[in-house]
């Protein structure tokens, strides 16, 4: 994972990679899973979602593989975020009653997906929300020309992701797809097979999610 960490340290600090997908995320999640005590944003990036959640008095923490302390400090969330990869997080088992992983899993090498999902399940104790983008990112910015590899590296159909979640021990409560945006999947899940009422709320954040990406395939992290 050292090469992955290097890539993301570089693009955040040198190439203005500032996706805003997380904006509005926690407003949606708090409606699906209300009244949580502590929640975790796995792969929080610069932390726009954490900052928004904290303003709304939601007790949300975050971690990311990239060293983004400078950005977290600018958003006044440095006390709530840690540098850590999704497959090895520095949190106690079962600490968070809600864990969110939004627009992250497609960035992780396929061989690391099982361990990552098991680790996400470990740190949570009740409910989980996954937003997965299974298509190549498209943007006017072409990081490939700057020597940066393709970022969406594990592109799989929804049924594949559902099977991965179940294999990792999750109880998948629901799966949502988008008629106007093929390749986007939302999964709600719980840690145990227990009756949990989940509101059906589409994961929308106003404008189309900003997926900054390459149009050419460079050095693949899945290789």
CATH number of 74's domain: 3.40.50.150
Q: How far apart are CA 110 and CA 176, in angstroms?
A: 22
Domain that holds residue 62: 2-190
Kindly state the percentage of the chain with pLDDT values over 90.
51
pLDDT value at position 20?
63
Residue 200: inside a domain: no
pLDDT value at position 128?
96
Question: From residue 28, how far is each of 33, 128, 138, 199 by CA, in Å?
Answer: 9, 13, 25, 10
Parallel, antiparallel or unpaired: strands 124-133 and 184-190: antiparallel
Residue 223: inside a domain: no
Residue 94: inside a domain: yes
**N-terminal to C-terminal alpha carbon distance within the chain:** 12
Domain count, the chain: 1
Residue 205: inside a domain: no
Q: Under a CB-based contact definition with an 8 Å cutoff, are residues 182 and 155 in contact?
A: no
Residue 163: inside a domain: yes
* Segment 98-124 mean pLDDT: 95
Residue 169: inside a domain: yes
pLDDT value at position 43?
94
Here the tokens at position 93 are 């088992």
* Segment 160-179 mean pLDDT: 92
Residue 149: inside a domain: yes
Residue 209: inside a domain: no
* Segment 57-62 mean pLDDT: 95
Continuous segment of H or E residues that includes residue 82: strand 81-83
């Amino acid at each position: 994972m050292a090469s992955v960490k290097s890539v993301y340290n570089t693009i955040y600090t040198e190439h203005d990679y500032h996706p805003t997908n997380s904006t509005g995320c926690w407003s949606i999640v708090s409606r699906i899973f209300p009244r949580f005590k502590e929640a975790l944003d796995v792969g929080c990036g610069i932390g726009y979602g954490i900052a928004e959640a904290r303003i709304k008095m939601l007790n949300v923490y975050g971690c990311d593989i990239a060293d983004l302390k400078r950005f977290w400090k600018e958003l006044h969330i440095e006390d709530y975020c840690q540098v850590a990869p999704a497959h090895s997080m520095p949190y106690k088992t079962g600490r968070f009653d809600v864990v969110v992983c939004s627009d992250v899993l497609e960035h992780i090498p396929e061989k690391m997906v099982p361990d990552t999902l098991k680790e996400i399940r470990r740190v949570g104790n009740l409910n989980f929300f996954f937003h997965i983008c299974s298509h190549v990112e498209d943007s006017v910015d072409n990081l490939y020309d700057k020597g940066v590899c393709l970022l969406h590296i594990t592109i799989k159909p929804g049924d594949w992701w559902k099977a991965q979640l179940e294999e990792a021990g999750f109880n998948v409560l629901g799966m949502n797809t988008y008629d106007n945006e093929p390749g986007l999947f939302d999964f709600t899940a719980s840690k145990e097979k227990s009756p949990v009422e989940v509101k059906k709320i589409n994961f929308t954040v106003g404008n189309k999610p900003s997926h900054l990406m390459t149009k050419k395939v460079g050095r693949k992290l899945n290789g």
